[in-house]
């Protein structure tokens, strides 16, 4: 795909976006607010996906239903759990 066709394709995608969101009817200052809001939401979504989700996934894999305490109250439960885990 050459540069000109890529440029035309991106322009076509942008026109589709304007048609779907009806932003072609907005005044310029409204477009600035609308696009700023959209870009802010995309940045926050990317931040969440990059920073927050890996932390939650690693915590989910570290979770163990068997207690890891060494006190006497948990020792019997841990021994029972070690046979079943």
Cα 42 to its chain centre, rounded Å, is: 9
What single string gives the DSSP state of each residue in 17-81?
Answer: HHHHHTGGGS-HHHHHHHHHHHHHHHHHHHHIIIIIHHHHHHHHHH--SS----SHHHHHHHHHH
Q: What global pTM score does this model have?
A: 0.56
What tokens appear for 52 in the block? 């927050």
Give the total number of structural domains in the chain.
1
List the domain range (segments joined by +) for residue 63. Answer: 3-84
pLDDT band at 10 (very low <50, low <70, confident <90, very high): very high
pLDDT tens track for 53-78: 888 888 888 876 655 555 555 555 55
């Amino acid at each position: 795909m050459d540069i000109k066709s890529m440029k035309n394709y991106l322009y076509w995608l942008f026109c589709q976006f304007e048609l779907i969101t009806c932003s072609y009817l907005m005044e310029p200052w409204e477009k600035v607010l609308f696009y700023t809001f959209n870009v802010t939401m995309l940045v926050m979504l990317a931040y969440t996906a990059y920073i927050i989700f890996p932390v939650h996934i690693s915590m989910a894999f570290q979770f163990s239903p068997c207690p890891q305490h060494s006190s006497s109250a948990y020792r019997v439960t841990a021994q029972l759990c070690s046979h079943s885990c």
